Amino acid sequence: MRVYQVPQHAFLLLVGGALLAAAPHLLLGPPWLRILLPLLLLARVLIQRGRLAMPGRMVRVVLLAGVVLGTLYTHGTVLGPEAGTCLLIAAFGLKTLEMFRLRDAYVLLVLGYFVLATTFLFYQSPLAALYVFVVMVLLTASLVGINRPETGARSRTHLRLASVMLLQALPLMVLLFVLVPRIAPLWALEFQSEGARTGMSDSMAPGEVSRLTESTELAFRVEFEGAVPSPAERYWRGMTYSLFDGRRWSQASPGGLPRPDLVIFPGQGTAPWHEQLQAQHAAMADTDAAPVYRYRVVQEASRRPWLYTLAVPFVRGPARGIGQVRDFRLVKEGDIEQRFAYSVESYPLLTAAVGLPDWERDFNLALPELGNPRSRQLAQRLFDAEGGDVEAYALRVLAHFRQEPFYYTLEPPLLGGNTVDEFLFDTRRGFCEHYASAFAFMMRAAGVPARIVAGYQGGELNPVGNHLRVHQYHAHAWAEIWIDGQGWVEFDPTGAVAPERIERGMDRFLGREMGALQNLLSGAAFSRNPLLARLRNSIDYLQFSWQKWVLGYDESSQMAFLERWLKDVSPLRIGLVLLIGTVAILLPVALWVLLRRRGPPRSPLQREYRALRKQLLRSNIAVSEGLPPRAVSETVARACPAAADAIRAWVSQYEQAAYAEHADAQALQRLRRLRRALRWRLRRSALSG
C-alpha cells in the first residue's frame, strides 16, 4: 500500500505534537503505555524515512487487541475516564501507523485535540493550561503543514500562523467561557480520582485530630466580601458529633428519623424545620443591621461530602447539589472529588432558628450508662454550685480548665477505658478533641444538651488576595450547648487552656511546637523572609484566582457575574450579548485579517513629503500623486504666487535630501522650518484672497 507522506516540514510538528499531547497521560498511565507510545511514534518516524515498511493489517489488529487486553489488565475495565483515556492514548498511537491518506492525518490531529483535552481530567493548574495551549499550537501548526503540500514550506511559518490564529481565538474563547450557560450534567458520571480521603472523618476519638495537624496540605481557601472576621471568629463548621459511646464521638441521628428531618436538598421537598429556617433567614436578610458574612469557599478535593462554613450558613445563588442540614451546616450530594467552589452567607444570630424538639434534646443528652464516674460527680457538683444556671455552669467548667494545671499539647499521652476521667483527673494533657470531649461530657452529665463540632479554626490571611488559606493543621474540634433563648452556643474549651491557639492562630502555635522540617513545610519559614513571603502569597493568590474564576466558574458564579453586568438575566439577553460580543470580537480580527494591506513603510523624509501634501490639500491645492517634486512646486507657484519662493525652497531642499548623494543630517529640521514658512505664506494669501 502506498504510504501517505506527511510533508517533511509538517512531520516533526506532527510527531512532536502527538508525543506532547500524550505525555501527561504517560506520566500517569500504566508502564506498558509509557513504552508503547514512544515506540509507535519511533516506528512512524522510521516509516517516514523509508527504513521500515508500513505494518500490515494483521500486525495492527494484534497490536489493537494487545492494547485492549493491557487496559483490561491495568484497570479491570475499558470503561470510565481512566481506562478510557488509557485506551484513547493507545489508539491515538496506533493511528500513526495507519496514515495511508491525508484524511488519516486529519483524524489523527483531531484525536490529538481530544487527547489533549483529557489532560484536564488529571491536571488543572494554570501551568497545565499553559502546557495544553502550547501543544495546541503544535497540533494546529501540523494542521497548517499538512494543508500545504509544496515541499518548500517551512515549519516556522506554520508555527507562527498557528500561534497567531490561536491568539486571535483567545478573546472569543473567553467570551464563550463567560457567557455560554452552564447546564446541569446530562447524566451522572462517577469519577473516582485516586487519592486518600483527607480531613475530618465522621467520628472522633482522642488523638485523631492531632494527627491531622501534622499535614500542611491545603483544606480550602475563603474569600470574603467585606471585612475578614477576626481569628477568634473563624470557626469553620464541618460536622457535628452527637453520639458518644464512652470513647468515641460519632455523627449519628436517632434511629427511625426520616431524612428530611435532618437534611434538605434543593428540589427534594421541604420540612417544617427547613421552612422555619428559611423564613427566619428571609426576615434577617431584610434587616440591614443584622450581622452577616458573605464569602466564597474553594475547597480542595476531600473525597468527603462536608462543606465548611461559619455558623448558620445559607447557599447563595443556585444551590444545585448542596443540602442544608438541620445542625446549621451544608453538605454536598456525593463526595467532593475535585476542587469545589461555593458561595455562602452566614447569619451568626440565627442559632436558635430551628428550635430543640424533645427527640433532639434527648439525643444530645444521651451518655453511656456507665463509665467516667468521677467526671459525673464533678459535673453535678459544679452545676449545683452555680445554682443550675446553664451559662454560668459552662463558664465554670471553662474556668476549671484554666485554673487547674491543664496543658495543651500535640503529643498527649494515650488514654485507657474511662477516657474523660483519666484526662480530667490524671493526665491533664491533651489536644482540642480531649478538651471538647470532656467539656461536652460534663455538660451532658449535668443535663445540658451538648454536641461536638468538628471542622477548622482560624486560617492564614494572604494579604495579596485578602483571602484566607485554611490548612489541615487548622483542624479543630469544639463544643456547642443549647441555652434556652439563645439556641446553640459555641464553647471552645481549648481557648481556655491555650488562648493563643485561637487568637493568634495555629500557625504561630505550631511554630513553637513543631520540628524544624514541618516548620519549613508549614510556610512558617517563609513568613520570616518578607520577600519570600510576598512571593508565596502572590503565587497563592494566583492559584486561588485561577480556582475561583476558572475552575470554579460555575452556574452560581456565572449568574452572579451576569446579574452584575446584565441586571436582568434571560436566555434572550444572554443570546443577544453572546451574538454582539462575538461580532465585536471577530470584527477587529476580521478587519485585521482581511484588510491587512498595511501601508507601505515610510521613512521620516517620506512622511515629511506626506505632511506637505496634506498641507497643500488644506489650502485647496490639488496635486496629483504622480507629479514629481519640481512639477509640484510649479503647480503651487501658479496657484498661489505669494508662496512660490517658499515652495521652491522646500522642493529644492527636499530634492537634495531625498535624491542627492550627500544628504545632510539637518535636512529634516530645515524642511520642517521651510514647511512652516510655506504654511504661513499659504494662509496669508488665502486670507487676502
Partner 1 sequence: MQKLHDALERVGKVVLGKDEQIRLAVACMLARGHLLIEDLPGMGKTTLAHALSRIFSLDYQRVQFTSDMLPADILGVSVFDPDSRRFELRKGPVFTQLLLADEINRATPKTQSALLEAMEERQVTQDGESRPLPQPFFVVATQNPLDQGGTFPLPESQLDRFLMRISLGYPAPEAEMSLLRAGDLRERALDMSPALTVAELMALMAEVEQVHASEDLLDYLQRLLEHSRGCGWFTAGLSPRAGLGVLRAARAWALLDKRKYVIPEDIQAVLKPVCEHRLQSASGGTAGGAASRLLEAVPVVR
Partner 2 sequence: MATAGMRSLYRRWLDRRMPAARQQQLTQRRIFILPTGYGVFFMVIAGSLFLGGINYENNLIMALSFLMTSLFMIAILHTFRNLSGLVLRAGRMAPGFAGTDGALELVLHAGDQQAHTGLWLAYPGAAPEEVSVSPGEEKNVWLSVPLRRRGYNRAGRVRIESRYPLGLLRAWSLLDMDQACLGWPRPLASEECPAGGGEQLQGQYAGRQRGSDDFQGLRSYQEGDSPRQVDWKAYAAGRGLHSKHFADPAEGWLWLDWSLLPAMDTETRLGRLAWWVLALEQRQQRYGLRLPGTELPPALGADQRRRALDMLGLYGENIQGGEH
**What number of H helices and E strands is found in the chain?**
26, 18
For strands 407-408 and 429-430, give the pairing.
parallel
Cell 422555619 belongs to 276
- The single residue of 86, 421, 432, 471 carrying the catalytic annotation is 432
Q: Mask: binding to partner 2, 248-287, rule CB under 8 A, as x and -?
A: ----------------------------------------
Binder among 6, 20, 99, 144 for partner 2 (CB under 8 A): 144
Q: Which of 476, 507, 540, 640 is catalytic?
A: 476
Neighbours of 31 (CB within 10 A): 10
Integer Cα distance of 202 and 44 in angstroms: 54
Residue number, 99 or 292, with CB nearest to partner 2: 99
Q: Restricting to residues 145-204, which ones interact with partner 2 according to CB under 8 A?
A: 146-150, 161, 165-166, 168-173, 176-177, 180, 182-187, 189, 191
When the beta carbons of 59 and 593 are compared against partner 2, the nearer one is 593
Least gap, CB of 594 to partner 2 (angstroms): 5
Q: Of these, 603, 638, 666, 683, which contacts partner 1 (CB under 8 A)?
A: 603
Q: Give the contacts of 556 (CB within 8 A, at least 6 positions apart).
A: 315, 316, 317, 318, 319, 342, 343
Task: Name the catalytic one among 327, 421, 492, 507.
Answer: 492
By CB atoms closer than 10 A (0-12, 13-18, 19+), residue 277 is buried
Distance CA 457, CA 509 (A): 13
Residues in the chain: 689
Three-class secondary structure of residue 256 per DSSP: coil
Q: Report which residue type is found at 96.
A: T
Closest to 502 in 3D by CA, of 398, 597, 572, 419:
398
Residues in Cβ contact with 489 at an 8 Å cutoff, skipping those fewer than 6 apart:
351, 391, 394, 480, 481, 482, 483
User: By C-beta, is 605 or 649 nearer to partner 1?
Assistant: 605
**Phi and psi (nearest 5°) for 221?**
-120, 150
Helix, strand or coil, per DSSP, at residue 439:
helix
Q: Which does 504 bind (CB under 5 to 8 A by kind): partner 1, partner 2, none?
A: none
Exposed/middle/buried for residue 133 (C-beta within 10 Å: 0-12, 13-18, 19+): middle
57 binds, among partner 1, partner 2, none (CB under 5 to 8 A by kind): none
- Catalytic, 476? Answer yes
Q: Is 610 in the site for partner 1 (CB under 8 A)?
A: yes
What is the smallest separation between the CB atom of 569 and partner 1, expressed in angstroms?
53
Scanning 60-68, 423-431, 477-485, 597-605 for contacts with partner 2 by CB under 8 A, the matching segment is: 597-605
Instruction: Please identify, using beta-carbon distances, which residue of 51 and 597 lies nearer to partner 2.
Output: 597
Residue 10 interacts with partner 2 (CB under 8 A): yes or no? no
Q: Looking at 87-95, 277-285, 340-348, 626-634, which segment touches partner 1 (CB under 8 A)?
A: 626-634
Residues in contact with partner 1, counted by CB under 8 A, come to a total of 22
> Which among 683, 684, 657 has a CA at the least distance from the CA of 670?
657
- Min dist. Cβ of residue 178 to partner 2 (A): 10
In terms of CB distance, is 423 or 609 closer to partner 1?
A: 609
Helix H or strand E segment including 239: strand 235-241
Tell me the C-alpha distance between 196 and 475, whole Å.
Answer: 17
Residue 602 site contact among partner 1, partner 2, none (CB < 5 to 8 Å, cut-off depends on kind) = partner 1
CB of 565 to partner 2, least distance (A): 19
Instruction: Assess whether 9 carries a catalytic annotation.
Output: no
The one-letter amino acid at 325: V
Total interface residues for partner 2 by CB under 8 A: 61
Residue pair 448/481 in contact (Cβ under 8 Å)? The answer is yes
Which among partner 1, partner 2, none contacts residue 290 (Cβ within 5 to 8 A by kind)?
A: none
Considering only CA atoms, give the Rg of the chain. Answer: 37
Residue 499 sits at the vertex; the CA angle it makes with 498 and 503, to the nearest 5 degrees, is 135
Segment interacting with partner 1 (CB under 8 A) among 115-123, 277-285, 473-481, 618-626: 618-626
Closest approach, Cβ 640 to partner 1, in A, equals 21
- 187 near partner 1, judged by CB under 8 A: no
- Among the listed residues 57, 564, 567, 596, the single contact to partner 2 using CB under 8 A: 596
Q: C-alpha cell of 595?
A: 484588510
d(CA 413, CA 326): 36
521, 562, 487, 475: which is closest to 182 by C-alpha?
562
- Residue 561 within binding range of partner 2, rule CB under 8 A: no
Q: Phi-psi region for residue 475, left (φ > 0), alpha (ψ -120 to 50) or beta? A: beta
Among the residue ranges 8-16, 128-136, 209-217, 432-440, the one whose residues contact partner 2 (CB under 8 A): 128-136
What, of partner 1, partner 2, none, does residue 140 touch, CB below 5 to 8 Å by kind?
partner 2
- Name the residue nearer to partner 2 (CB basis): 73 or 114: 114
Is 425 or 549 the residue whose CB approaches partner 2 more closely?
549
Interaction partner, residue 658 (partner 1, partner 2, none; CB < 5-8 Å by kind): partner 1
Residue 624 contact among partner 2, partner 1, none, beta carbon within 5 to 8 Å by kind: partner 1
The binder of 627, among partner 2, partner 1, none, by C-beta within 5 to 8 A per type, is partner 1
**CA-wise closest residue to 243 among 382, 440, 109:** 440
- Return the residue of 2, 358, 568, 659 that touches partner 1, per CB under 8 A: 659
Q: Is 663 helix (H, G, I), strand (E, B) or coil?
A: coil
Which residue among 106, 131, 526, 561 contacts partner 2 (CB under 8 A)? Answer: 106
**Which residues in the 314-373 window bind partner 2 by CB under 8 A?**
338
**Rounded-to-10 torsion of CA 491, 494, 499, 504:** -100
Output 109 or 479, the one with its CB closest to partner 2: 109
Q: Least distance (Å) from partner 2 to the CB of residue 79?
A: 14
640 a catalytic residue = no
Strand partners, 453: 240, 478
Q: Give the span between the Cα atoms of 679 and 32, in whole angstroms.
A: 81
Alpha carbons within 13 angstroms on the beta-carbon side of residue 561 total 18
Contact 259, 248 (CB under 8 A): no
CA distances for 305 relative to 52, 170, 200, 241, 530, angstroms: 55, 36, 11, 15, 37
Span of 137-145, 274-282, 466-474, 652-660 interacting with partner 1 by CB under 8 A: 652-660
Residue 429: beta bridge partners?
Answer: 407
Rounded Cα distance, 196 and 337, in Å: 11
Closer to partner 2 by CB, 110 or 290: give it: 110
Residues designated as active site = 432, 476, 492
Binding site for partner 1 (CB under 8 A): 600-603, 605-606, 609-610, 624-631, 655, 658-661, 663
The residues of the shown chain that bind partner 2, judged by CB under 8 A, are: 81, 103, 106-107, 110, 113-114, 116-118, 120-121, 124, 128-129, 132, 136, 140, 143-144, 146-150, 161, 165-166, 168-173, 176-177, 180, 182-187, 189, 191, 338, 550-554, 582, 586, 589-590, 593-594, 596-598, 600
